[in-house]
Structure 1
Amino acid sequence: MKTAIEKTKGYRRLIPSVTALVEFEAVARLGSFTLAAHELGVTQAAVSRQVRFLEETLGQRLFRRLHRAIELTDEGEALYRVVAESMQKIASVFDRLARGPVQQELVLAATSAFSHFRLLPRLASLKAAHPDLQLRLSTQMFTADLRHKEIDVAVRFGNGTWPDGTAMLLFDEEVFPVCSPSWLQTHSEPATLEDVASAVLVESDSTIEGWMGWEEWFNAVGHRPMRLNFPLRCSLYTDAIQAARFGQGIALGWGRLVHDLLDSGELVRLPVASFKPPESYFVVVPHGRTITPAIDGLINWLREGADA
């Protein structure tokens, strides 16, 4: 026996009723036919009819009707995830179009460290160069798949080869020990790698490719200490640098990120050794995304100050 969806032809064979999908999404999100009807401004009976129409069209039950509650079936959960995401995208586009062509919102993805230390301190220059641009920062701990995200531009650290976008070089990196002036006032300044290894070190977790901790850094500069002293470990690099600023020990300074803190004197570079990783920072544009003048302007702004 054919379902109703198999009896229709053309585009409506795939999406027979947008209204039914809208009302289904409200029921699934709110967990109630009554609340969905109230939100949509229709009767509960009308919402029930639309959901029942979807179930008959698909030949699948979307909800389990319990005594005083409802819950999504596996099929309903699968449909809800897709419908909810699609409606959010549609709403976002409608909102952007309704505000007019002057508003150009771009989504820029970066790690919290790059955003905190590199982007936010320089936003004033971006606004000055592109006053009509609206920027949304998407902060990530791990490398997100651009094929499944509403991202226009991403900043990544790595080898420049990713399957989900086209990478363009921004700048390289250098890693070296840093501490606060107050820490140096109460401790002897390390003069050798062995001195650094025996000092109080602040560690941060490696969450992206190419990111190194203290052990990897010592190996890279040719020193293999027997034991390292980590009284403080941080899951975020931003926290590790803040701890170093407040005199809690020596942290690894990624030059492009701590440049401003070194320039202001809040951190001090310890000139015992440094390492330049083979990886670099890249700007990545998702495959299929047109590089508009606004995106091009954002990329050029990201490249500014490459010597800093």
Structure 2
Amino acid sequence: MLKLHHSLQSLNHLAAFEASARLCSFTKAAEELGVSQPAISQSIRRLEAAIGIQLFRRNHRIISLTDAGAALKDDVTQGLERIEHSIKLLQQRSQGQHVTLSVSSAFAHYWLVPRLQDFRATHPEIDLRMQQTDMDLDLAQEGISLAVWRGTGRWRGYESILLAHESISALASPAWIARNPRIDTLEQLKKCRLITLEEPHRYRPEWKDFFAAFGQAYTDDGTGLRLNDYALVLQAALAGEGVVFGWNHVAQSLVDAGLLVQIGNWTWHSGAGFYLVWSEHSTLSANALITRSWMISKGS
């Protein structure tokens, strides 16, 4: 049996071979691996000498694989991919004691935090870490276990399960309602000071979409309040600044507590939803699986 540590001196030779074979260039392989072109050439020569087989045809600055080189390329590529996969699994397992959950600030504040006591009581062994963001991040690249995204539940490279259907109502504080005329029609609602979420990095429906769902046109006249964080939007509504575009899965606790009141009986069911999402390219740790099950059980 061929012993790599005797015959090849270093697995760096295999990495040099794989990159050169894939890129068909010693120079490009050197750039990718962060070494000099002569170092790549030397690694290839040593590899060929160690196994006694020519792997590349060299014609001035043009290289091509021999039949033997092409056969070895497939095996080396698969082997290095398996090594990389094994390392990622080991890294995930070593980090398995904590679970990172990516959510918006409003979801964290109004949905997750009120339920944390139950989670801690049920799963005291799990270190749950929240990452607040207004972007849908690359979960595997960022080392994020789970995330909550708005959409249809179909994202390439991700698996998902529904936490809550998207339903939106017009909400305001009791103080705002007390000092403003009664609102019985959508035309009256349009004339109110409307508070709008305006996120810079991802699409969120706005008041024009809400009114369109009920067959009404709406043009923003600039008299409303526009904020780029939904937690701030809800705080503005609680402070009596106007009528809020109320996502019920987040704002329902405020309605139940009497802090916000629904205006009219208009509730828009958009067909979208808020989904618990995880990368299909990463293996969820045991703690992440437990956290996922707990969140699903608490979904509405």
For the criterion TM > 0.5, the same-fold answer is: yes
The corresponding residue for 2:270 is 277
> What amino acid maps onto 2:152 in structure 1?
N
With over 3 angstroms needed to count, the CA separation of the structure-2 counterparts of 1:236 and 1:219, relative to structure 1, is same
Quick check: 1:169 aligned with 2:162? Answer: yes
Question: What are the ranges of 5 or more consecutive residues in structure 1 without an aligned counterpart?
Answer: 1-7, 17-53, 60-88
Say whether the 8 Å CA contact 1:107–1:137 is kept in structure 2: yes
- Within 2, Cα distance between the matches of 1:169 and 1:145? 19
Of 181, 184, 201, 1:188 maps to 181
- The sequence identity of aligned pairs, in percent, is 25
Q: Which has the higher contact order (CA 8 A, sep 6+)?
A: 2
Of 132, 138, 159, 1:139 maps to 132
- Within 1, Cα distance between the matches of 2:132 and 2:102? 6
Q: CA deviation at 1:258?
A: 0.3
> What amino acid maps onto 1:110 in structure 2?
V
Alignment partner of 2:271: what SS?
coil
Alignment partner of 1:266: what SS?
coil
> What amino acid maps onto 2:168 in structure 1?
V
Larger-gyration structure (1/2): 2
> What amino acid maps onto 1:133 in structure 2?
I
The corresponding residue for 1:11 is 11
The corresponding residue for 2:279 is 286
The corresponding residue for 1:107 is 100
The corresponding residue for 2:211 is 218
Provide TM-score, normalisation by structure 2.
0.68
**Superposition pairs for residues 193-208 of structure 1, below 5 Å?**
193-206=186-199
The corresponding residue for 1:156 is 149
Say whether the 8 Å CA contact 1:174–1:255 is kept in structure 2: yes
- Within 1, Cα distance between the matches of 2:175 and 2:239? 8
Alignment partner of 2:115: what SS?
helix
Say whether the 8 Å CA contact 1:160–1:280 is kept in structure 2: yes
For structure 1, which segment, 217-226 or 168-177, has the greater mean C-alpha deviation from structure 2 after superposition? 217-226
Q: CA deviation at 1:292?
A: 3.7
Provide TM-score, normalisation by structure 1.
0.66
Offset from partner CA, 1:261-299 (integer Å, 9 cap, x none): 111111111124111111111111212322443222211
The corresponding residue for 1:265 is 258
- Within 2, Cα distance between the matches of 1:58 and 1:126? 57
Across the aligned residues of Structure 1 and Structure 2, the Cα RMSD in angstroms comes to 3.1
